[in-house]
Amino acid sequence: MKMINKIAKTELRNLFYSPVAWFLAIAFMVQCAWFYTNALQYMARWQDVMQRNNPKFKDWGQVSLTMNVFLSTDGIFSHALENLFLFVPLLCMGLISREINNGTIKLLYSSPVKLRGIVLGKFLAIMLYNLLLLGIMGIFMVTGACNIQSVDFGMLLSAALGFYLLVCAYSAIGLFMSSLTTYQIVSAIGSFVLIFILTRIGALWQKFDLVRDLTYFLSLSGRTEKLLKGMITSRDIIYFVAIVYMFLSFTLLKLKGTRESKPWYIKARGYVAVIAITLLVGYVTSRAAYTIYWDATARKAHTIHPRSQAVIKELGKEPLEVTLYTNLLGAGASRGFPESRNIYLSEVWDKYVRFKPDIKFNYVYYYDYDRTIDEGTLLRAFPKKTTKQMAEQMAEGQDENFSRFQSPAEMRKTINLLPEKYRLVMQLKYKGRTTFLRTFDDNVFWPAEQQVAAAIKRLVNARLPKILFITGDLERSIYKKGEREYRMHSIAKENRFSLLNLGFDADTIALNKTNIPSNTTALVLADPKTNLSDSAIAKIRQYIDDGGNMLILGEPGKAQVLNPLLQQLGVQLMEGTLIQPSKDEMPHMVTPYVTNVAGNLAEEQVFLHMKASGDSLKVLMPGATAMAYAKQGPFAVNPLLKTLGGETWLKAGTLVTDSVPPVYNEKEGDIKGSFATALALTRQINNRQQRIVVCSDADFMSNLRNNESFMGRAFYSWLSEGAFPIYTPRDDPKDNRLNISSAGAKTLRVVFVWILPALVLLFGSILLIRRKRK
């Protein structure tokens, strides 16, 4: 060990007595200073502007400034890692080649120092120099702790660990390349090439099951991604240790080989053995059962919510089986191909495997097509082609092996995926029960925590909340796609926030033919066009008397249809239409604000933000009327949505929306005031709280207006007593405010970009000049 330390000390002396190490350190410092102060100054400038102009401005809300300044695409760590491969090879290119050129390698060989000591000593020197680079980064981390309120230290330390491990891995590669040639420039270029190969190797041969995990393990690309964001895993740590071990071993074997006269195949066995050991260790330690996780972020941003963890825990020790069905002719097919498998597992399942390592993953590839799905678009692209011929052409275009894909006849023997529109879908299986976990045509594509937790809950719970929509009197339909209907928020498989994908069972019920089941969670009566039959009203009244929960939605001009039923609740729809003049919208499109009572219905993110910021939240209702209710009636009544008194009035009579704007006329019966457009009714019955929601507009939950779906989800959550959706809210980050002004950031920029590097340059120059004189 003493000899290793002496070699390391000598090598460090050589580094700092040469201009290369100083210039690399200064260049690295300037780069870090530039990107740190650039991001800091931008945020500080805008914070000053917001503070001067917005009295309500407190902080940046959901923006983590630690992430923004240090880890965004323009952050200091991102740019440092992006350019790191330019620094390290230049630093390592002469570690051994310099000894060979100077002839000192013979002295080392003849000394009592073992080859292992030479290699480890030189690598230790580079590791210590790498600590200098980390120290330079640490200057900005400490400064960031002063500049950012409640900076996320865990995230920064994890990112620093990732940075150091990567630079050490690059150094091991540079050390090995230095042993291969006497030309330092060749060594540097070789390091560049090898780092490039290891960065890209993860994309090679991903179609083949035999080598997919091996090449993916060897890849440097993305290895620091989790570490930079604050997620430390034993898998990533061991990867970097294994890479360092592999290239240090290669260096040792190369130096031994120059002193031994053995056939090349004997020497090659050593390299093969090292590679085999590295791959074996990497493969075993990357298995979920042997992986240790540590979420170092302050708010555990990379760990699934405790509620999701509780759902996973319900699975117990029974295995969960996940089958990914990929249709060559279906939507999202490329994300399910073999070459995307590791990305799929990382993006979707890694955070769940952490809590249930025994999840089994299966993959089924097939081709099938139905023209009703895309209205014949694919057939027009491949005219006069059969389904098989189209699939063959698609396989050729995607460079996929067509023999991998099952035919429609083969697939239908086991499962029919036409109801899932033959798109990329996952089927979960547990204790013989199955359910689908879907993908979606949005920016996220894969299911999020809410959808995954809901799907697993379907497997472990025999009874889920059942929402029944009344039919028979021209109510809004959950099966039609028309703009006024309710399919999108109820049973639409393509909508990640539909009741179906959030854990509810939605169905219809014709009260003229069927009684209301006792296991109904909530009954929905949405804008009937004709008067309800006496039989239907009787059944609904009995359901309410028994304590059943209900959602009732009406429309202006139809008070006579619902008021006979609402009378039992102490609520009445008033005649007329609410008017809210606006330069942009038609006058009947009102925007009532969300009350504090409504904000407590569910943990919708917009509600949480509303309460945290103190700002008001409004909902667009395209055609609503006012509601009157008895304050001392059978139910306790609380408004959920209310219009502002100074902006709205209730227009009596018929409203013409495509003519001149209506004018308030008290003589015609118009009424000004603040009116409730949604009410929450509660009472204690049968040892539980009965909950009913009444709305005076049915359009705001329609297919066309699904952008207001957060309000509908809150209704259903409240009616199901919070069972679903399974909300996974995250607190706003605490590091969302700067402690420095724009002027201070400018001063800091001058200090870090100009003054500090100049001082280091001066110190290094003096040291080198004095060394040369000696």
**Model pLDDT for residues 728-757, shown as the tens digit of each residue:** 998 888 999 999 999 999 999 999 999 999
Low-confidence ranges of the chain (pLDDT < 70): 99-113, 201-217, 259-261, 264, 462, 658, 707-708, 774
Please list, in sequence order, all residues whose beta carbon lies within 8 angstroms of the beta carbon of residue 761, skipping any fewer than 6 positions away. 22, 26
* Same domain, yes or no: 188 and 330: no
> Using DSSP, how many helices (H) and how many strands (E) does the chain show?
30, 21
Q: Which domain holds residue 515?
A: 463-719
| Cβ(369)–Cβ(329) below 8 Å | yes
* Same domain, yes or no: 250 and 347: no
The strand pairing partners of 618, in sequence order, are 593
**Residue 541 is which amino acid?**
R
* Same domain, yes or no: 254 and 282: yes
Q: What is the three-class DSSP state of 368?
A: coil
Write the CA distances from 182 to 90, 105, 514, integer angstroms.
14, 11, 89
Distance, CA of 366 to CA of 32 (rounded, Å): 50
* Same domain, yes or no: 535 and 612: yes
Exposure class string for 405-429: b at 16+ Cβ within 10 A, else e: bbebeebeeeeebeebbbbbbbbbb
Q: Supply 426's token pair.
A: 């996952």
* Same domain, yes or no: 432 and 529: no
Distance, CA of 200 to CA of 220 (rounded, Å): 8
* Same domain, yes or no: 202 and 165: yes
**pLDDT at residue 211, as a whole number:** 64
* Same domain, yes or no: 692 and 742: no
Distance, CA of 200 to CA of 196 (rounded, Å): 6
* Same domain, yes or no: 429 and 505: no
The strand pairing partners of 468, in sequence order, are 507, 523
Q: Based on the structure, what is the number of domains in the chain?
A: 3
Distance, CA of 729 to CA of 721 (rounded, Å): 17
Q: Last residue of a domain, which of 450, 481, 512? A: 450
Structural domain includes residue 30:
yes
Structural domain includes residue 769:
yes
Please list, in sequence order, all residues whose beta carbon lies within 8 angstroms of the beta carbon of residue 353, skipping any fewer than 6 positions away. 288, 345, 359
Q: What are phi and psi of 229, to 5 degrees?
A: -95, 0
**pLDDT at residue 206, as a whole number:** 59
Distance, CA of 685 to CA of 218 (rounded, Å): 64
Instruction: Say how many Å lie between the first and final Cα of the chain, rounded.
Output: 30
Q: What is the pTM of this model?
A: 0.87
Exposure class string for 71-91: b at 16+ Cβ within 10 A, else e: beeebbbbbbbeebbebbbbb
Structural domain includes residue 87:
yes
Q: What are phi and psi of 293, to 5 degrees?
A: -120, 145
* Same domain, yes or no: 387 and 531: no
Torsion of CA 179, 183, 188, 189, to 10 degrees: -110
Residues in the chain: 774
| Cβ(602)–Cβ(727) below 8 Å | yes
**pLDDT at residue 204, as a whole number:** 60
Q: Supply 315's token pair.
A: 């699975």
Distance, CA of 698 to CA of 625 (rounded, Å): 11
Structural domain includes residue 165:
yes
DSSP 636: E
Q: Last residue of a domain, which of 450, 479, 509? A: 450
| Cβ(578)–Cβ(648) below 8 Å | yes
Q: Last residue of a domain, which of 450, 479, 496? A: 450
Structural domain includes residue 455:
no
Q: Supply 109's token pair.
A: 């060989």
CA atoms within 13 A on the CB side of 622: 16
Torsion of CA 143, 149, 152, 156, to 10 degrees: -10
Structural domain includes residue 725:
no
Structural domain includes residue 724:
no
The strand pairing partners of 438, in sequence order, are 425
Distance, CA of 409 to CA of 483 (rounded, Å): 37
Structural domain includes residue 270:
yes
* Same domain, yes or no: 157 and 208: yes
* Same domain, yes or no: 438 and 471: no
CA atoms within 13 A on the CB side of 543: 28
Helices (H), 61-183: 65-66, 76-82, 84-92, 97-102, 104-110, 115-147, 153-180
CA-wise closest residue to 19 among 741, 551, 768:
768
| Cβ(736)–Cβ(64) below 8 Å | yes
* Same domain, yes or no: 405 and 543: no
CA-wise closest residue to 97 among 22, 192, 10, 186:
186
Distance, CA of 160 to CA of 66 (rounded, Å): 13
Q: Is 515 exposed, middle or buried (0-12, 13-18, 19+ CB in 10 A)?
A: exposed
